[in-house]
Amino acid sequence: MTAQNSSDPAIPLGVLSEAFIAKATSRDLRVGIVGLGYVGLPLAEAFVLQGLPVVGFDIDDSKVKMLGGGKSYIKHISDERIAAMYAAGKFAATTDFAKLKQVDAILICVPTPLGEHREPDLSYVVATTQNIAEHVQPGQLIILESTTYPGTSEEVLQPILEQGGLKAGVDFAIAYSPEREDPGNPNYDTSSIPKVVGASSDLERNMACALYNAIVPTVPVSNLRTAEAVKLTENIFRAVNIALVNELKVVFGAMDIDVWEVIEAAKTKPFGYMAFYPGPGLGGHCIPIDPFYLTWKARAYGLNTRFIELAGEINSSMPGHVVDRLGEAMNKHLGLAMKGARVLIVGLAYKKNVDDMRESPALDLIHKLKARGMKVEYSDPYIPVAPSIREHPEVEGMKSVPWTQEALSQFDVALIATDHDNVDYTPLLAAVDLVVDTRNAIKQRSDKVVQA
C-alpha cells in the first residue's frame, strides 16, 4: 500500500474498503500486528496458517531476533511453530515501525495495566497509536485488541490517529475486537474462539469482519463501546464468581467443610450452576485488572461499582488468608513459628501449564512470607529463573529448586500456589512434613496436607 498523493482527489473509504474486503477474501491482505506477546504472537500464527502475510512489530529487539532465529519465548508456542511461520514465507518480525505503511490492517496487542492507584494505564496504547499515526495510510484498518474501558477507541485512539489530517470513517477505518486468549488451554486457541467486532459504521465493521473471518467466526456488535464493554463483562463475570467461591472457601473452612468436595457435588446439577474454583488470589493480565477499568470509567458518570469493588477486595485478600493459614498449620502440625522457617512456593506462574508470571499471586505470597521472617524459595518447571518484576524486585534472580527429594527435604513446609499438570507431588510428600495446598492439587487427604 502506498501513500495517497496530497494533490490527488481523496478516494472514498467506501471504494477503498471494497478493495480491502476483496484482498481479505483472496488472502492477499497484509496484516500488521503490534505487540508480539501472549496475544499478538498466536494471532499472527492464526493468520499465517490461513495464508495471510503478517508483519509483526515489537519494540523489544531481543524478541524480534529470537523469532527471526526460529525461537519462541512463550512456553506453549514451540520453536517448531515459529520456524513453520517463517518457512511458509508469510511472516516477518521487525522493530521498524515505518513498515506500518506497507500493511493493510494494523492490530494493536499491547499491555493495558493498572497504575499505582488502580487507574487505567494506557501509556502503551498511546505510544503505539502515536507510532501508527506517523504512518497511517488511506484505506487502512486499525483495530485495538487490548482490554480497556468503553470509549477508549473514540476518545483516545481516534484523535491521535487523526492528527495527520486523515479522518476515521472517511479516509481510514477503526474497529475494536477484544482479545480472547487463554494461554495453556489445549481446548481453545485463537482460531477456535469467535471474535467480537465493533465499529462506528457498517463500512468499518464490514472491513474488520472480513479480516477476522479469514481465521475465525465473527460476532459483530453495533459500535466500538459495546465491543469494549464485552471484554470487560467477560472478565468481570469471572472475577466476581471467583471472589464468591473464595469467600465460600473461607466460610466453609471455618465450618470444617471441604469446599472442593462441595464444588464437585454442586456441579453435577445440569442447570443453573457453573463451577468456579478458589485459589491463593487472582493472576494474569486480565481478571485482576480489567474490572477496575470499568470501575474507573463509571466514576466519570457519577456511579459506583460496589459489587465489582467488593469482589476485588475479596480476591486481593486471599494471599493474606493463605499466609495466615500456613502459619496456623505450621504451629498446629509442626510446632514451628514462621520466623526463620524455610518454605517452598510450588509454582510461580499465575496459572497452570504456562510460564506467565504477570500478576501471579505467588509473587504476593513470597512478599508476605518474607515479611513474616520466612526463608522463601520456589520451584516451577516453566520458570527456571525469575525475571525482573517491577512490583516485586525481591523475586528477580531467584532460581527454581530442583524437584528432587534431596532438594525438597531442606524445607519445613511447602505451599502449592500453582498446580501444573506435569508435576508429580510424590517426592514432595515424601520430603516435606507439611504441604499447604491452595489449588486442590493433592486429591488424597491426609494430616500432612492442609487446604488453604
Question: Of 85-94, 179-188, 341-350, where does mean pLDDT reach its minimum?
Answer: 179-188
Nearest residue to 148 via CA among 170, 166, 123, 171: 123
3-state secondary structure of 108: strand
pLDDT band of residue 446 (cuts 50, 70, 90) is confident
Are the C-beta atoms of 336 and 371 separated by less than 8 Å? no
pLDDT in tens, 88-147: 999 999 999 999 999 999 999 999 988 877 889 999 999 999 999 999 999 999 999 999
pLDDT, averaged across the chain: 93
pLDDT of the residue at 9: 54
pLDDT in tens, 253-296: 999 999 999 999 999 999 999 999 999 998 876 777 888 899 99
The rounded distance, in Å, linking the Cα atoms of 359 and 52 is 34
Mean pLDDT, to the nearest integer, of 307-316? 93
Q: How far is CA 361 from the centre of its chain?
A: 14
Longest dimension (CA), the chain: 84
Kindly list the catalytic residues.
286
Give the residue with greater pLDDT, 182 vs 387.
387
Instruction: Give me the mean pLDDT over the 181-210 stretch.
Output: 91
Torsions phi, psi of 79, nearest 5?
-60, -35
The residues, any chain, with a CB within 8 Å of residue 100's CB and separated by 6 or more, are 32, 34, 57, 106, 131, 132, 135, 136
Point out the least confidently predicted range of 180-189, 335-344, 346-355: 180-189
Q: Does position 3 have pLDDT exceeding 60, yes or no?
A: no
> Which one has a higher pLDDT value, 445 or 431?
431
**181, 231 contact by CB (below 8 A):** no
pTM higher than the cut 0.95: no
Q: Which of 28-32, 137-141, 194-198, 392-396 has the lowest mean pLDDT?
A: 392-396
For residue 45, is pLDDT > 90? yes
pLDDT greater than 80 at residue 433: yes
pLDDT over 80 at 224, yes or no: yes
How many other CB atoms are there within 10 angstroms of residue 154's CB atom? 17
pLDDT of residue 426: 95
Domains and CATH numbers, the chain: 13-222 (3.40.50.720), 240-451 (3.40.50.720)
Dist CA 358 CA 44 (whole Å):
22
269: exposed, middle or buried (C-beta count within 10 Å: 0-12, 13-18, 19+)? exposed
Q: What pairs with residue 449 in β-bridges?
A: 435
Q: What is the pLDDT of residues 168-182, one digit of tens each?
A: 999 999 999 999 988
Cα-only R_g, the chain: 24
Picking from 190, 173, 207, 215, the residue whose alpha carbon sits closest to that of residue 27 is 215
Amino acid, res. 65:
K
Flag whether pLDDT at 187 surpasses 90. no
For 7-24, the pLDDT digits (tens) are 345 788 989 999 999 999
Angle at the Cα of 441 from the Cα atoms of 337 and 438, rounded to 5 degrees: 45
When pLDDT is averaged across residues 191-197 and rounded to a whole number, the result is 94
DSSP string, 242-290: HHHHHHHHHHHHHTT--HHHHHHHHTTSSSS-------SS--SSSTTTH
Provide the grid cell at 206: 464490514
- Across 95-181, where does the E strand assignment appear? 105-108, 141-144, 173-176
Half-sphere exposure of 182 (CA within 13 A, CB side): 12
- Residue 328 Cα distances to 279, 332, 442, angstroms: 18, 6, 20
**Class of residue 188 by CB neighbours under 10 A (exposed 0-12, middle 13-18, buried 19+):** exposed
What's the pLDDT score for residue 391? 83
Distance of CA 23 to the CA centre of its chain: 31
- State how far the Cα of 221 lies from the Cα of 211, in Å rounded to an integer: 15
- Assign 389 a pLDDT band (cuts: 50, 70, 90): confident
Share of the chain above pLDDT 70, in %: 98
DSSP letters, 18-52, are HHHHHHHHTT---EEEE--STTHHHHHHHHHHTT-
Helix, strand or coil, per DSSP, at residue 406: helix
Residue pair 287/235 in contact (Cβ under 8 Å)? The answer is yes
| pLDDT reported for residue 7 | 37
Above 60 in pLDDT, residue 1? Answer: no
